[in-house]
Amino acid sequence: MSETIDLVLVKPGGRLKLFGSLAGELSGFAPPLDIGLIAGFLRKRGYSVRIIDADAEFLTPEETAQRIREFNPLLVGIFAHTIRMMHASETLKILNNTAPDIKTLLGGRHPSALPERTLREVPNEVVQSDIASGSRSSSPWATSFGKKVDFVCVGEAFYPLAQLLDILKSGKKVEDYKINGIWYLKNGKVISNPPAPLFKNLDDLPFIACDLLPMDKYKAHNWHCFDNLEKRQPYASVYTSIGCPFRCSYCCVNTVYGGSGIRYRSPEKVIEEIDYLVKNYNVRNIRFVDDIFSLRPERVNRICDLIIQRGYDLNIWVYARVDTVNEPMLKKMKQAGINWVCFGIEAGHEKVREGVYKRIAPDKIRQGIKMTQDAGIYINANFIFGLPDDNIETMQETLDMAKEFNFEYVNLYVAMGWPGSKLYEESVRAGVRLPQNWSGYAQLSEDTLPLPTKYLSAEEVLRFRDNAFVEYFSNPRYLEMMEQKFGPKVKAHIIEILKHKVKRKLLKTTI
């Protein structure tokens, strides 16, 4: 290319490895908020930026590396969660072997949680049978890097990347990169700079750089569009806040931000971005990516009022805490087109929830669910099997709760010790067996390895979860309700989902 590109930002792929047969038509693809915002911020400052969304485009590591080489940037930044690190490492291995002069950086949630380990990874083949047998390789975080990555960005990347690009563009040889948020190796020693400051005024951030993204590839989750399964595109992500003020021990969402807390955009800036997406990309399906949308009722009402004034026919879903909603807010949300709320209930037994600092009184759960249903908003409820205090009886209580409320959709997870979470720290201290491959953290991977509980093995937890999935979605009461609400096509669609079998090496079976 004749143009010199300063930075290529990459969202790693690996969807087929992580989600198996559910990776195609049945899954959703959302525009990546992190690299989309970084691209917009840096471009506004005069840097040339490109984005490769290997996930949305189903690119292999080889194809991703080839795209990077075609741009020939000064720097490539790959931003990854834990489950994407296998694809990220394979991409870097190929890139280092074919274009070693391109500087490489890893950022995002996982590198922020484990910066030193990310810098020091070395090639090491993992025997898959180790997962089932319980043996441990020399490094539980073994991967397949070629040379080590040049930089790791710890925390929010806006300011660190700008300063790093300035140095790289100057062409000067630098012995020490004194940049807050940037870690690197020097003569085998880890150089760790202090954290970079968080971006204070979110209204000053440009919109996600949609023109650099494959917007025609993004598609809403199937459940989000049960009212019209044929209209899952176009699809977009919008944020109204960043961060979470709570400290649930299973969660790692605040890893990049250095701790719990929340920053808000103004409602006016939010509606400005929605206007842009509707007018330029004909977007109807939107995900509000806030970790908790419902914390400030007056803000929620203002955002909803602005949407209602536009007269848009939107189909929006949001995350909310079940103990933070109220009747007037929910009615206003429904009027604005917020048709789905995702509640993280996690467990049916109060003691199990309290054990991971998810303190919500049972009466608040029931009250919040009823108010949401009365407002005509559909519920996607999140539940986690295998939290530390779980046993067979409490997990059954969780499943019974889900079936009792007969939610329009549920996500049934197994507990993981995500890097950056308190559960991860506790698991490491206790010597708990953790996944030997990055894909072992993916919920639907062949390699999935959940945490054991105080009373149950990882195998027992995973088997219960997989059986619970089949039991919930094949429940005649559930299927009848779905047919009444959404029609026979959606019922048939759910039955079709049940035909997709998940392979589990841990269980040596297919569920």
Average pLDDT, the chain: 91
Evaluate whether the domain defined by 219-415+450-510 bears CATH number 3.40.50.300: no
pLDDT reading at 54 higher than 80:
yes
- 102-145, pLDDT tens digit by residue? 999 999 999 999 999 999 873 332 323 333 333 323 343 344 33
User: 197 pLDDT exceeds 90?
Assistant: yes
pLDDT at position 147 over 70: no
Please give the Cα distance from 325 to 151 (Å, whole number).
42
pLDDT of residue 500: 85
- Strands 509-510 and 503-504 turn out to be antiparallel
Considering only the top CATH level, what class is 7-192?
A: alpha beta
**204 has a pLDDT exceeding 80:** yes
Mean pLDDT in residue range 317-337:
98
Q: How much is the pTM?
A: 0.92
Q: What is the pLDDT of residues 63-75, one digit of tens each?
A: 999 999 999 999 9
CA distance 262 to 191: 29
Q: How many CA atoms lie within 13 A of 402 on its CB side?
A: 32
Kindly tell me if the per-residue pLDDT of 353 is higher than 50. yes
What is the share, in percent, of the chain residues with pLDDT greater than 70? 91
Averaged pLDDT for residues 367-374: 98
What are 183's two structure tokens? 């870690």
Ranking 11-15, 45-49, 312-316 by mean pLDDT, the lowest is 11-15
Cα 411 to Cα 34, 347, 386, distances in angstroms: 23, 12, 14
Domain parsing of the chain, residue ranges: 7-192, 219-415+450-510
> Residue 65 in contact with residue 94, Cβ under 8 Å?
yes
